[in-house]
Amino acid sequence: MITPVHYMLLSAALFIIGVVGVMVRKNIIIIFMSIELILNAVNINLVAFSAQLQNGIGQVFAIFVIAVAAAEAAVGLGIILAFYRNKETINIDEMNLMRS
């Protein structure tokens, strides 16, 4: 029998993978993708609870999360493109313009 705990564990594991990706990789596109993984982990959690609680609220929130993810991806990738055009790099460690 699959309980919400299973989903939670799956979600947590996905979350961890996402966090590790954000922390470890230098390629900013992969970092963005890791963030997407994190958001998905959250969504899994929300949908799992929605199913457990027999109401749609969790799914509604999942939809909001997807909307936010779409916005984030659009703006984030726009920034990457703009940055790449000027600096010819997508290495996050070289993105230190704001550092004095």
As a whole number of angstroms, the distance between CA 24 and CA 22 comes to: 6
Q: Does the protein bind other proteins through residue 96 (CB under 8 A)?
A: no
Q: How far is the CB of 75 from other proteins (least distance, A)?
A: 5
Site for other proteins in 17-76 (CB under 8 A): 17-30, 32-34, 36-37, 40, 43-44, 47-48, 50-57, 59-60, 62-64, 66-75
How many residues bind to other proteins according to rule CB under 8 A? 75
Tokens of residue 16, six digits: 């961890």
Contact call for residue 9 and other proteins (CB under 8 A):
yes
> How many C-beta atoms lie closer than 10 Å to residue 96's C-beta?
8
Q: Residue 7 CB: number of other CB atoms within 10 A? A: 18
* Least spacing, CB of residue 2 vs other proteins, in Å: 5
Residue 91 carries which DSSP code?
Answer: B
Closest approach, Cβ 97 to other proteins, in A, equals 15
Decide if 65 contacts 43 (C-beta within 8 A).
yes
